[in-house]
Structure 1
Amino acid sequence: MSDREALKAELKKLSGKALQAKMDLHDLSEELPVNWGSIMTVAEKAYDAYAELERKSHDLKALENNQRG
């Protein structure tokens, strides 16, 4: 498997993880004020998931640009 294919596979997994984190945050918001104490934990997981997804997306773009040039 090439580096590009590996990154794409990883991005697919990270995208699913980020989507789940988004849904968890959404579900929590609908249940408020129940479990309000977990807001920071759930939000941090969503933030971290999307930050990792963005980093890997940049890595893939950089790899693709390097392969072209």
Structure 2
Amino acid sequence: MKSARIALAILLVSGSAAFAQDALDADGDGLVTLAELQAMYPDFTDEQFAEADTDASGALDEAELAAATEAGMIPAEE
């Protein structure tokens, strides 16, 4: 039962991240830039983005977006 709960939690987090990425990724390239993020969340700062962009690529991939969402940096879409 415990492993089922863990699996469900992982699925919900990954599903939320995928939904958030789809909602934020205006150009459909699979990455979320600061400009795309600020279009939905104008108060999101350059510093917050740099913290979320762990590979310093200038865009958030699905894993970075999921981690930032899970950390509460980006609101989870409902």
TM-score above 0.5, yes or no: no
**Rg: which structure is higher?**
1
What's the TM-score, normalizing by structure 1?
0.42
Higher helix share: 1
Pick 1 or 2: higher relative contact order, CA cutoff 8 A, min separation 6.
1
